[in-house]
Structure 1
Amino acid sequence: MSLPRIAVDAMGGDEGVRVMVEGAALARRRHDQFKFLLVGDETRIKAALDTHPGMRDASEILHCDDVVGGDEKPTQALRRARTTSMGLAVNAVKAGDAGAAVSAGNTGALMAMSKLALRTLPGIDRPALAALMPTLGDNDVIMLDLGANTEADARNLVQFAIMGAAYSRIVTGLAEPRVRLLNIGTEETKGTDALRDAAAQLQAATGLALSFDGFVESDKINRGEVDVVVTDGFSGNIALKAIEGAARFVTDLLRSAFTSSLRSKIGFLVSRPATELLKHHLDPNNHNGAVFLGLNGVVVKSHGSANAAGVANAVAVAARLLEDDLTHRISADLAALGEARLRTGQATGDAK
């Protein structure tokens, strides 16, 4: 697999350089053709590379000691886009010095910098944040938007559906991913005007590489009955945090139950293979790597608390999207939607 190199914001995340470099090194051990532009404090990056000698020939360092703070407002961070490790990583994609950027830093700042530097694809009004979540089915579910846009009208939701389906086809291999809009009920009369209008547009569209089947409620997101869940960023972020909280609650409850008595501890030893499988399935590091869809370039957001394995997964997501040319897929699907609308308009005019 021959790919453009990936720019890594080595200063972002809770632990910064050590974990980001270790994660990149782990990703390269799995795919030895990966190459990196490591952006951050040169002295610290070189020290981290000492423990991963195989990374030296595969990496170039872009020195920068200015970092975007975790609680920094996006408007403040934008003023330092040309001096911070995050901004320089994104700008490397704009300049063609890297094919994708990966950062574990401030999400709002990363979105603002990415949108300003890369702009949105033609036909996309707003980029959306999409992530993979585990399900009971054969494939993970993609959910968007997860916080980039607190509000979304019908046009935005339709665009999100197209972008999410394009992403899903890459990661699942499905020709027509099942797409649904997140709602308070599955009946056609439920939800806001924007939701009902978006549903009508998706239902009427032809030629799209997706299968739209109305609405889905939040308790069905992880059942394996849908491949792409579409919503506004406000509702999506709340749903995501609720799902993550429920997963932590279950694991903490099991841990407490298994340590409550000697009999429980024996029971834990007997059921350990099953509990380890559950732990692996719910570990957010195994699904790390949210994507800003709709930009003229690939930008992946790693969770700030991700460990090296999580960062490696985020790097792998970026590489996969480059390999399968996500931006081209989205553009082609938008063109198909435009043609479908044109045919619908012509048919309506002929009927008149």
Structure 2
Amino acid sequence: MAYYTNHFATIFFLLFLSSFTINNTPCNAKLSSTYYDSTCPNALRTIRTTIRTAISRERRMAASLLRLHFHDCFVQGCDASILLDDSPSIVSEKNALPNKGSARGYEVIEAAKSKVEKLCPGVVSCADILTVAARDASEMVGGPSWSVKLGRRDSTTASLVLANTGALPSFKAPLESLISSFKDHGLSARDMVALSGAHTIGQAQCSLFRDRIYNNGSDIHSGFASMRRRRCPINEGNNNLAALDLVTPNSFDNNYFKNLIQKKGLLESDQVLFSGGSTDSIVKEYSKNPYKFKSDFAAAMVKMSEITPLLGDKGVIRKICSAIP
């Protein structure tokens, strides 16, 4: 009798242990706003200090960090793959056409990582640092802040092919193509318009808007086009920079949407948001209500930052952001 009692007790224990293991496997890991509270409590403060210092030195860096986060999340998800350099096993996304010569801020993320590593070695991922940096960059230039959920891990791969072949929306994309691209990543048309509002800060290279300012089309203000030609000659100056918003180029506000209504969007993918299509009403709404724009931008940034993150036992925690351990 004792044998059967012990036998059933053993089976019960094993079933309990199995249930406990299943319910606590890394595959059930979730992002959490308190993820580093016990393992690296000063991580977010350290990241913020690094980002503030970088933006105080160069205001444009705020836009660059927001763009870097966007270009990371749209290729393989928010996994810091964009930060990887070329190596025997990696073909870097930095070489992709949408990134090469224009994506910036890598050294800022690396600096934040270095400081966090000194506090808590091997704990905080580059993917999380990039996500937090985007939030801090927005706040630094007068944009909204939001609660960031953490716990992402870093990829061990990159995809130059994805970065080059449509994962990142083109600056010449028509409206329906843009809507479809964002939908593929779980983002709505409203999310797309709100996120495009990040172009209220930052600059673009002449090569990206030359065709628009020289085509004399009906969708561009003639005076605006004429003024932009001064910094973008028709046959030279590809890398010359122009502010995406001439009026308040360093402040995160809703002037970007007012520009679109006046046909003063610098890129084709900007102006197409207000061109008689389905997003016209959203542009008008944001042009009149800066609080709604900032609220929707923050919500869209949260959604974007949660595109297929690596969790639990997937991915790694890189020691430096540009290379796999």
Same fold, judged at TM 0.5 (above)? no
Q: Which structure dedicates a bigger proportion of its chain to strand?
A: 1
| TM value normalised by structure 1 | 0.25
Q: Which of structures 1 and 2 has the larger relative contact order (alpha carbons within 8 angstroms, sep 6+)?
A: 2
Larger radius of gyration: 2
| TM value normalised by structure 2 | 0.27
